[in-house]
């Protein structure tokens, strides 16, 4: 079936970007922590409390994807993404009416909002991979780039661009964001679809070996088969370490610059905005790199680069320019996780059940989202520094690189029934 007889596949990419821009607002949480933790403000939350809201959102996001991946494989990406957008928007809108209640904010922003992100997140990834078998790495990167770019946009809207938190307060900003999420995600979801059975891009054929023989197809595993493999657990643990490191930095980078480095909130906030921007850029670039290195060796390189920067970060908090450089580096490599781990899942478990299998892999992100930020919050509350947490994160990134390096493809005869 030729490409001209079906919809323009680039519209699916546009839809993916619209969805991910709003879903990525979870990474803008750092823009709220200053107001929430202000001892002179109405909330007076501790660092641990703001960490728990963020981590609850990440965990709800990740574990919802177990179900969301299966649902989108069964019912298609459009309806599941719409449900996700409505849940995300409803969570933020409801939170805008909760006053200063920590428990209600945990429920609406963390659990409900995070579940909405989980419902919507896998849909554009799975759809784009099916429409672009010729450009899997690049398109997967583009499909999730909006997630990082959205964080940058919402950080700026909350702060220096429109000053929403200052002018509207935390609750008023939640209301504005919630309405925006509903409109953006539903609009993007209307552009999502799966290609017809047997479709392939015009002029493209599956890759062949140097002798002209067809490249052996990856065995398509169900979610149940996937979670029984050693490869799954190696990928899962590597993702816990790598994602947990980045999520920890997103949570505490601004406070690190202000509280330990003596920077102004504006300077430290600018670094957080740059981290979000390079998070989006890293998704595209690392996806493209995977065409040359494969997802496996791209993950190894990315994790080693991230681990190295975590050690350097220890002495970079007192200079606005140094903190900005560190933020760009960390954001760039952190963003690569979300282009490379779907491809690593594809390379090891096949394309047929990618939504369900990546949903299972992505639970690691939820675990990392709890361990990393909560560890940093506890370290600060008990030691008055983030540096010990940075050292632990650096070691974890090196461990992720080692795990991925020793990953081997599954032999069909080794697949459990």
Question: Residue 235 sits in a domain of what CATH number?
Answer: 1.20.1250.20
Domain holding 372, by residue range, is 7-196+218-411
Residue 215: the pLDDT is 54
Q: How far apart are the first and last CA of the chain?
A: 34
Let me know if residue 213 belongs to a domain.
no
Let me know if residue 417 belongs to a domain.
no
**92 and 175 Cβ atoms separated by less than 8 Å:** yes
pTM given for the model: 0.78
Residue 37: closest CA among 26, 56, 20, 52: 52
Let me know if residue 2 belongs to a domain.
no
409: number of Cβ within 10 Å: 12
Residue 416: the pLDDT is 60
DSSP 120-186: HHHHHHHHHHHH-TTSHHHHHHHHHHHHHHHHHHHHHHHTTTT-HHHHHHHHHHHHHHHHHHHHHHH
Q: Which long-range contacts (CB under 8 A, 24 or more apart) does 31-40 make?
A: 31/154, 31/155, 31/158, 31/159, 31/165, 31/254, 31/269, 31/272, 32/158, 32/165, 32/170, 32/173, 33/251, 33/254, 33/255, 34/254, 34/255, 34/258, 34/265, 35/165, 35/169, 35/170, 36/170, 37/255
Residue 417: the pLDDT is 55
Residue 247: closest CA among 364, 143, 159, 77: 364
Let me know if residue 32 belongs to a domain.
yes
pLDDT (tens place) for every residue of the chain, 417 residues total: 444 457 899 999 999 999 999 998 887 888 898 899 999 999 999 988 998 898 899 889 888 988 998 898 889 999 999 999 999 999 999 999 999 999 999 999 999 999 999 999 989 988 998 899 888 888 888 888 888 778 778 888 988 888 899 999 999 999 999 999 999 999 999 999 999 888 888 888 876 655 454 455 678 899 899 999 999 999 999 999 999 998 888 878 888 888 888 888 888 888 887 887 888 889 899 999 998 899 999 999 999 999 999 988 888 878 888 999 999 999 999 999 999 999 999 989 988 888 889 989 988 988 888 888 888 888 888 888 888 898 999 999 999 999 999 999 887 656 665
Helices (H), 350-408: 354-361, 363-383, 387-405
**Helix (H/G/I), strand (E/B), else coil: 98:** coil
Residue 259: the pLDDT is 86
- Degrees (nearest 5) of the Cα angle 218, 224, 230? 65
Distance of CA 368 to the CA centre of its chain: 11
Residue 291: the pLDDT is 87
Residue 21 phi, psi (nearest 5): -55, -40
Let me know if residue 206 belongs to a domain.
no
**278 and 328 Cβ atoms separated by less than 8 Å:** yes
* Rounded Cα distance, 166 and 192, in Å: 37
What domain count does the chain have?
1
Residue 220: the pLDDT is 87
Residue 329's contacts (CB-CB under 8 Å, 6 or more residues apart) are 278, 305, 309
Let me know if residue 1 belongs to a domain.
no
User: What sign results for the dihedral spanned by CA atoms 20, 23, 27, 30?
Assistant: positive
Let me know if residue 47 belongs to a domain.
yes
**Helix (H/G/I), strand (E/B), else coil: 262:** coil
Let me know if residue 20 belongs to a domain.
yes
């Amino acid at each position: 079936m030729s490409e001209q007889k079906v919809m323009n596949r680039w519209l699916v990419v546009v839809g993916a970007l619209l969805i991910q821009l709003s879903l990525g607002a979870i990474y803008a949480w750092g823009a709220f922590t200053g107001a929430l933790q202000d001892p002179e403000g109405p909330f007076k939350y501790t660092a641990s409390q703001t960490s728990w809201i963020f981590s609850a959102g990440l965990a709800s996001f990740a574990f919802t994807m177990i179900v969301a991946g299966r649902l989108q494989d069964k019912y298609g990406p459009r309806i599941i993404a719409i449900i996700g957008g409505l849940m995300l928007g409803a969570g933020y809108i409801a939170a805008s009416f909760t006053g200063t209640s920590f428990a209600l904010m945990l429920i609406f922003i963390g659990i409900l909002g995070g579940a909405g992100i989980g419902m919507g997140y896998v849909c554009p990834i799975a759809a784009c991979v099916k429409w672009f078998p010729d450009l899997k790495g690049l398109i997967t990167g583009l499909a999730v780039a909006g997630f990082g770019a959205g964080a940058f946009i919402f950080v700026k809207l909350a702060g220096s661009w429109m000053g929403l938190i200052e002018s509207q307060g935390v609750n008023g900003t939640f209301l504005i964001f919630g309405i925006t999420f509903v409109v953006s995600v539903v609009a993007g979801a209307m552009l999502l679809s799966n290609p017809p059975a047997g479709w392939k891009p015009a002029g493209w054929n599956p890759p062949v070996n140097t002798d002209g023989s067809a490249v052996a197809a990856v065995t398509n595993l169900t979610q149940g088969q996937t979670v029984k493999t050693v490869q799954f657990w190696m990928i899962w643990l590597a993702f816990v370490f790598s994602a947990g490191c980045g999520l920890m930095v997103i949570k505490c980078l601004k406070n690190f610059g202000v509280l330990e480095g003596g920077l102004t909130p504006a300077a430290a906030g600018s670094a957080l905005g740059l981290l979000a921007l390079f998070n989006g850029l890293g998704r595209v670039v690392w996806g493209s790199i995977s065409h040359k290195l494969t997802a496996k060796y791209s993950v190894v390189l990315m994790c080693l680069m991230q681990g190295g920067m975590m050690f350097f970060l220890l002495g970079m908090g007192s200079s606005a320019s140094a903190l900005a450089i560190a933020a760009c580096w960390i954001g760039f490599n952190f963003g690569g996780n979300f282009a490379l781990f779907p491809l690593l899942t594809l390379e090891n478990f096949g394309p047929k059940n990618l939504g369900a299998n990546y949903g299972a892999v992505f639970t690691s992100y939820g675990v990392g989202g709890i361990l990393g930020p909560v560890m940093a919050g506890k370290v600060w509350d008990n030691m008055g520094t983030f540096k010990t947490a940075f050292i632990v994160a650096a070691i974890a990134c090196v461990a992720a690189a080692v795990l991925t390096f020793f990953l081997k493809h599954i032999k069909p005869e080794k697949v459990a029934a």
